[in-house]
Structure 1
Amino acid sequence: MRSFGLFAASFVLAGLSGVLGFEFQRIRKNDTMLLVVDHQIGLFELVKDFEPVEYRNNILAHAALGKVFDLPTILTTSTDDGPNGPMMQEILDMHSDAPLIRRQGEVNAWDNPDFRAAVRATGKNQVILGGIVTDVCTAFLALSLIEEGYEVFANSEASGTYSRRIADEANDRMRAAGVNVLSTFAVATDLMRDWRLTPGYPELSPYFDKYFPVYGMVERNFKAADASKKSHPLVLM
């Protein structure tokens, strides 16, 4: 009985030490880069864990983070002259000045020397990324970046794959290695931190209205109610 008590106590202490040693990795907008990985029109057809309209919106929302927060952005494609197809034109138009690394064989983008050089040239220590497919293009790169010492934030909404089960397994694998797996809304609000900062409410309001309508409608409702109060003031009799 005594040995069981000692075991239980050691188990509790081990758990407490894990909690006490936890470090909340915050996204630092001045130390972060954005990677857009293999968001190609052929590969798009492989994604089954999101509806096509939803996933297209997710991809564009991910790419737009680079513009809203002025993040160094790197685009990369895998054999885009074959069945994988080119990068989505909307992304190319959005980031016309960003480096586009056209890999001709490397599955893991980190295996490409030009891509590695572009990432290192940013001088940033944190990476936000999303890609097709989650279990390969996103996970392989995320794990390689962790191995290189970067803090990695995988946008789960900007990565898609063949099924929800495969996505869950890939995200579990990344989390186990220390990758932060989170939503676009979580990425955006952690980058912003405070609505009063810049970018803040004026810049993020149209972004959320366009790409995250469930939140955008809340704001529209508030604005409509506020306008109604001003045009129809309450008269106390």
Structure 2
Amino acid sequence: MNNHKFTETLTADNAVLAMIDHQTGLMVGLGDEHPTVIKNNILALSNTAKAAGIPSVITASMPDGPNGPVMPEIQQILGGEIINRADEINAWKSPEFRNAVKATGRKKIIMAGIVTDVCLLFPALSAVAEGYDVYAVIDASGTWNKTVQEVTIQRLVQAGVKVTTWASVLAEIMDDWRGENAESLGNVLAGHTTKYGYVMTSYFANK
């Protein structure tokens, strides 16, 4: 059996970041993690993509309604335009979003969304069905409570989505502390994980 799909790693050259519906109105209802922690993780994932030079696609669902606008920090970090969807709950059903992902020419999608069981789950399933290799970043996503999170993870895994965390994504992309993006990615890790900041201080002091 060929397990290449499950063992091939992320790199700065084969992945695209999809940030789905990280909107202020939706952030209010999160209960599976402390909002401050989730915000930190979302920004850490965004900074990881920026430091590695990974292209990104940002989308929002009905931003003029109760969902509210995308967290402004995300666009400040990643730049680019936000794809505002009027009706599609599943972002993959938006031609603008889907085409933006396809235009990168990359088959690995690092995906995060609010809420996990809708905004992340549905496009992840749809992208996998079209042959994409999806990495669902659970700690940069969020939902109503832990039960909903756990059920959603089960469904993602059943569909062949790779469930992961932002720090694991960063380490997988970095691959080697001698790599060209190692210092910038290391600074992201230090900036968003207080304890590891001390490790980075020691590392750079002895370079």
Taking structure 1 as the reference length, the TM-score comes to 0.82
1:93 aligns with 2:87: no
Question: Quick one: distance in 2 between partners of 1:192 and 1:43?
Answer: 31
- Aligned partner of residue 110 in structure 2, secondary structure: strand
Q: 1:43-82 maps to which residues of 2 (within 5 A)?
A: 43-82=26-65
Q: Between Structure 1 and Structure 2, how many residues are aligned?
A: 205
| Seq. identity, % | 37
Question: Quick one: distance in 2 between partners of 1:163 and 1:101?
Answer: 28
1:221 positional shift: 5.2
Write the deviation string for residues 146-186 of structure 1: whole angstroms up to 9, x where unpaired: 00101111111111000111101101111111111011111
1:109 positional shift: 0.2
Residue 211 of structure 1 corresponds to which residue in structure 2?
Answer: 192
Question: Quick one: distance in 2 between partners of 1:25 and 1:172?
Answer: 22
1:116 aligns with 2:98: yes
Structure 1 vs Structure 2 CA RMSD: 1.7
Identify if the C-alpha distance between structure 1 residues 21 and 218 changes in structure 2 by more than 3 Å, giving closer, same or farther: same
Question: Quick one: distance in 2 between partners of 1:122 and 1:197?
Answer: 23
- Aligned partner of residue 124 in structure 1, secondary structure: coil
1:222 positional shift: 5.9
Aligned partner (choices 122, 127, 136) of residue 140 of structure 1: 122
1:205 positional shift: 2.3
Question: Quick one: distance in 2 between partners of 1:43 and 1:177?
Answer: 25
Question: Quick one: distance in 2 between partners of 1:207 and 1:95?
Answer: 14
Q: Which runs of 5+ in 2 are unaligned?
A: none
Question: Quick one: distance in 2 between partners of 1:159 and 1:118?
Answer: 21
Higher relative contact order (CA 8 A, sep 6+): 2
Letter in 1 for 2:13: N
Contact 2:90 2:119 in 1 (8 A): yes
Letter in 1 for 2:180: T
Contact 1:41 1:88 in 2 (8 A): yes
Residue 102 of structure 1 corresponds to which residue in structure 2?
Answer: 84
Residue 170 of structure 1 corresponds to which residue in structure 2?
Answer: 152
Q: 1:2-41 maps to which residues of 2 (within 5 A)?
A: 21-23=2-4, 24-41=7-24
Residue 15 of structure 1 corresponds to which residue in structure 2?
Answer: none
Letter in 2 for 1:48: G
Write the deviation string for residues 8-65 of structure 1: whole angstroms up to 9, x where unpaired: xxxxxxxxxxxx6544131132011001110011100121111011111011111112
Question: Quick one: distance in 2 between partners of 1:120 and 1:180?
Answer: 19
Letter in 2 for 1:199: N
Residue 155 of structure 1 corresponds to which residue in structure 2?
Answer: 137
Question: Quick one: distance in 1 between partners of 2:94 and 2:188?
Answer: 33
Question: Quick one: distance in 2 between partners of 1:30 and 1:196?
Answer: 17
Contact 1:131 1:137 in 2 (8 A): yes
Write the deviation string for residues 175-212 of structure 1: whole angstroms up to 9, x where unpaired: 11111101111100111111101111x21221111112
1:83 aligns with 2:76: no
Query: For the pair shown, which has the larger CA radius of gyration, 1 or 2?
Result: 1
Contact 2:52 2:185 in 1 (8 A): no
